[in-house]
C-alpha cells in the first residue's frame, strides 16, 4: 500500500557519472578530483517524513533520517542526489536530500534520506 501511484511525489535525481581530475592554472593535475553528475531526471517516488514504527521496522531504532523513500522500480545509489525542484547547476552544493541508507526487501527498495545542512 505504501507504493501506490497516488502517493508518489515528483523529485529530480542526479547520479554521479565520473570523477574528473582538478587542474591548476597551468594545466597540471592537482591530485584532487571533482564529481561530474548526470543530467537531472524527473522521477515519481513515494516519500514521507521519518519517524515511527515503519522507520524502526525497516532501518532499526538507532536510525536518524529526515525522510524515507520507497520504490518498486527506481534504484538509487549511495551517491544519488535528490532535489525538490529542478536543479540548474552546482548539484553537489544545492541538493535537498542524499541517500544515507538503502534497504532492499523482496518487492521494494527502502531509502533513508538525509537533508543537506
Angle at 91 between CA 65 and CA 82, to 5 degrees: 35
Q: Distance between alpha carbon 50 and the CA centroid of its chain, in Å? A: 15
- Give residue-wise pLDDT tens across range 36-54: 899 999 999 999 888 777 7
Question: Does the pLDDT of residue 76 top 70, yes or no?
Answer: yes
**Strand 8-14, strand 81-83: pairing:** antiparallel
3-state secondary structure of 91: helix
Looking at the DSSP bridge assignments, the partners of residue 43 are 11
pTM above 0.95, yes or no: no
- Residue 90 exposure: Cα atoms within 13 Å on the Cβ side: 2
Amino acid at each position: 500500500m505504501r507504493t501506490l501511484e497516488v502517493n508518489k511525489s515528483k523529485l529530480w535525481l542526479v547520479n554521479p557519472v565520473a570523477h574528473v581530475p582538478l587542474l591548476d592554472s597551468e594545466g597540471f593535475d592537482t591530485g584532487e578530483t571533482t564529481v561530474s553528475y548526470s543530467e537531472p531526471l524527473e522521477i515519481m517516488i513515494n516519500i514521507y517524513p521519518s519517524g515511527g514504527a515503519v522507520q524502526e521496522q525497516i532501518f532499526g531504532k538507532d536510525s536518524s533520517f529526515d525522510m524515507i523513500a520507497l520504490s518498486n522500480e527506481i534504484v538509487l545509489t549511495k551517491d544519488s542526489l535528490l532535489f525538490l525542484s529542478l536543479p540548474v547547476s552546482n548539484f553537489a552544493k544545492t541538493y535537498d536530500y542524499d541517500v544515507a541508507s538503502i534497504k532492499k526487501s523482496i518487492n521494494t527498495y527502502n531509502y533513508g534520506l538525509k537533508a543537506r545542512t
